[in-house]
């Protein structure tokens, strides 16, 4: 990759964080805002990190996210939060160049693995598998990928350090 921003993003997301975002049983939520600064949000059903960790893609059900997708087409601003229920570890990424893309090869496998990981995570906390799978069901609607270059990352784990920038940014 020749994009100079990729090295910045690589610094934001180290290998350990990439594994957390893309393979842990984390709850993933995506935020946007429209021209009038009215925010919108939706739940994502999986995450892919580029090999060089410069780009992050999260998958959303289009039917559940219409206004959010309109916002992103209009201004490309995005905020994504990843939170692991049992540890409360929470990370927020921001981007200003988000694009809506079709799923790539292998994305459906990522989504299936995410479903298993999130089901196991919440199962350990007492939520039934059926409940979790209903919550993140994506079988019916069209899925799209929201891809962006993180330009900021913050820890939002509850406590005194919440809001601190990550990765020496």
Segment contacting other proteins (CB under 8 A): 12-20, 46-54, 71-79, 112-120?
Answer: 71-79
Nearer to other proteins, 42 or 149 (CB): 42
For residue 95, give the H/E element and its range.
strand 90-95
Nearer to other proteins, 3 or 131 (CB): 131
Segment contacting other proteins (CB under 8 A): 8-16, 38-46, 51-59, 104-112?
Answer: 38-46
Span 95-124, contacts to other proteins by CB under 8 A: none
Torsion of CA 157, 82, 49, 155, to 10 degrees: -20
Helix (H, G, I), strand (E, B) or coil at 35: coil
Torsion of CA 14, 43, 124, 23, to 10 degrees: -30
> By rule CB under 8 A, what string of x and - marks binding of each residue 119-138 to other proteins?
--------x--xxx-xx-x-
CB neighbour class for 12 (10 Å; exposed up to 12, middle 13-18, buried from 19): buried
HSE at residue 107, side-chain half, CA atoms within 13 A, is: 23
CB of 95 to other proteins, least distance (A): 10
Which residues form the interface with other proteins (CB under 8 A)? 27, 29-33, 36-43, 61, 63-64, 75, 77-81, 83, 88, 90, 92, 94, 127, 130-132, 134-135, 137, 140-141, 154, 156, 158-159, 162-163
């Amino acid at each position: 990759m020749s994009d100079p921003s990729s090295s910045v993003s690589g610094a934001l997301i180290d290998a350990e964080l990439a594994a957390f975002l893309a393979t842990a049983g984390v709850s993933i939520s995506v935020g946007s805002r429209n021209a009038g600064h009215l925010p919108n949000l939706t739940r994502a059903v999986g995450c892919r990190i580029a090999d060089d960790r410069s780009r992050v893609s999260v998958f959303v059900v289009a039917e559940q996210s219409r206004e959010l997708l309109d916002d992103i087409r209009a201004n490309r601003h995005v905020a994504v939060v990843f939170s692991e229920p049992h540890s409360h570890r929470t990370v927020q990424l921001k981007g200003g160049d988000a694009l809506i893309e079709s799923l790539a090869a292998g994305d459906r496998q990522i989504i299936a693995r995410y479903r298993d990981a999130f089901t196991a995570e919440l199962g350990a906390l007492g939520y039934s598998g059926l409940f979790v799978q209903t919550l993140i069901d994506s079988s019916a609607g069209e899925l799209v990928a929201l891809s962006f270059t993180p330009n900021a990352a913050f820890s939002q784990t509850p406590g005194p350090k919440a809001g601190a920038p990550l990765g020496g940014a």
